[in-house]
Amino acid sequence: MKYVDEFRTPELIAKAGEEIRKLAGPNRHYRIMEVCGGHTHAIYRFGLKDLMPSNVELIHGPGCPVCVLPMGRIDDGLSLAADPSFIFAAFGDMMRVPGTHGSPLEYKARGMDVRIVYSPADALKLARNNPEKHVIFFAIGFETTAPSTALTLMRAKSEGLHNFSVFCNHVTIIPAIRAILDSPDMRLDGFVGPGHVSTVIGCRPYHWIAQDAGKPVVVSGFEPLDILQSIVMLLRQLRLGEARVENQYKRVVPWEGNRAALRAMAEVFELRPYFEWRGLGFISQSALKIRASYTEWDSEQRFPVPGVRVTDPKAAQCGEVLKGVLKPAQCKLFGRECTPEQPVGALMVSSEGSCAAYYNYEHRKPVTIANAATA
């Protein structure tokens, strides 16, 4: 009953579940994608899937930064860590993600200088405090995180700090959604839009999804009731044959986004012509590159990087799971060779990865609001 007690409003949850069942006409199957990995985590954690009628299917999207990063990028970044004059700094989420020759944490165990930082600003501080070393910050994340890296690079430049550079893996969410919509094996009816990405980019960038692709988008918060309300809003639009962008997370997401953050990104980054995503392949203009005016702080331009392409371990089916073609448990390695303790693929590492979420909350099946209510 643990999670039940934590809900402020169990009656509202039940009501939203009922509303979803009413709105989802029995003659139609609805496939709704939650784009953000944070929503995937919440959906499993709260057992929201169990509240859905059988004809409302929730498909997990690509919004987990460590999950979509191809192994070749990890290998490229770590290839620089072998130099004893370098410090390799990354967020904790990255530390257990496997590269071909081990994760950053395993590199650290082999004696390389690998540090966990909680902010790009702390990587910059490492550079200030270790003038004899070069600090590489291995940057990952969508538009939620990219502005912080941008500001950090602006600070490095204004301070004239030359022993710091960023190995940039920042990606942008809109081209990934476009790639999914263009994928012939993917039929979707609507999107639960990412919450914190939208605090930066606002709601306008989703308009084409409604107008051109004809799919409704509802930007959503992360509480169980937020997610259920967003699904209600999507089903209402679908029932009326509408496709609009709505903002369920108004308390945090301004329609226009955060202009200062967008300015910082525009100052430091430009779009890469293409970038490889795990599972989705190469997507045009889907990632950020450091501008020529910041070349000196771009690890890739400053140091020789092998630029390797690595296919995922043969038996792992991360790509199919990422695209929503396979459910996590349908992968041959799931729960056997690949577990959160011993991950083979990145989707098992991050709490936002659908495999880790499925393993922790579905495979081990805790008591959730849904099954507690019927118990």
Partner 1 sequence: MCLAIPGKILELDSQNPMLALVEVVGVRRKVDLGLLQDEPPVPGDWVLIHVGFAMSKISAADAEDQMRTLMMLGEAEAALQEVRGYGLENEDREHLGQRQPS
Binding site for partner 1 (CB under 8 A): 3, 6-8, 36-38, 41-42, 45-46, 63-66, 91-93, 95-96, 105, 113-122, 125-126, 129, 140-142, 144-145, 147-148, 151, 194-197, 199-200, 221-224, 251-252, 254, 258-261, 264, 350-352
How far is the C-alpha of 123 from the C-alpha of 254, rounded, in Å? 30
**Residue 348 CB partners (closer than 8 Å, separation 6+):** 338, 339, 340, 355, 356, 359
Q: How far is the CB of 187 from partner 1 (least distance, A)?
A: 27
By beta-carbon proximity to partner 1, the closer residue of 334 and 361 is: 361
Output 31 or 115, the one with its CB closest to partner 1.
Answer: 115
Q: Which is nearer to partner 1, 222 or 274 (CB)?
A: 222
Taking Cα atoms as reference points, which of 38, 40, 62, 61 lies closest to residue 49? 40
Say if residues 139 and 149 touch (Cβ distance below 8 Å).
Answer: yes
Rounded to a whole number of angstroms, the minimum distance from the CB of residue 268 to partner 1 is 12
For residue 241, what is the DSSP state? T
Residues 176-199 as b/e (b if ≥16 CB within 10 A, e otherwise) read bbbbbbeeeeeebbbbbbbbbbbb
- Specify the residue, 85 or 330, whose C-beta has the smaller distance to partner 1: 85
What is the C-alpha to C-alpha distance for residues 131 and 133, in angstroms, rounded to an integer? 5
DSSP string, 1-64: -HHHHH-S-HHHHHHHHHHHHHHS-TT--EEEEEEEHHHHHHHHHTTGGGGS-TTEEEEEEEE-
Q: Which is nearer to partner 1, 64 or 243 (CB)?
A: 64
Nearer to partner 1, 235 or 356 (CB): 356
We find the least distance from the C-beta atom of residue 27 to partner 1, in angstroms, to be 35
φ/ψ (deg, to 5) at 24: -80, 95
| Of 64 and 181, CB closest to partner 1 | 64
Please, what is the minimum distance in Å from the beta carbon of residue 180 to partner 1?
19
Packing angle of the helix pair 224-240, 37-45 (nearest 10 deg): 110
- One DSSP character per residue, 79-141 reads HHHTSTTEEEEE-GGGTT--BTTB-HHHHHHTT--EEE-SSHHHHHHHHHH-TTSEEEEEE--
- In whole angstroms, give the CA distance from residue 144 to residue 261: 9
Residue whose pair of structure tokens reads 């308390």 in the numeric block = 251
Shortest distance in whole angstroms from residue 155 CB to partner 1:
8
The nearest distance, CB 95 to partner 1, in angstroms, is: 4
In angstroms, give the least distance from the CB of 334 to partner 1: 21
Q: Which two tokens stand for residue 160?
A: 């004239």
Residue type present at position 29: H
Q: Give min distance, CB of 126 to partner 1, in A.
A: 8
Least distance CB 241 / partner 1 (angstroms): 32
Contact predicate 99/71, CB 8 Å: yes
Q: What CA–CA distance (Å, rounded) separates 58 from 98?
A: 28
Cβ distance to partner 1 smaller for residue 148 or 163: 148
Least separation in angstroms between residue 101's CB and partner 1 is 18
Closer CB to partner 1, residue 94 or residue 210? Answer: 94
Q: Which is nearer to partner 1, 126 or 192 (CB)?
A: 126
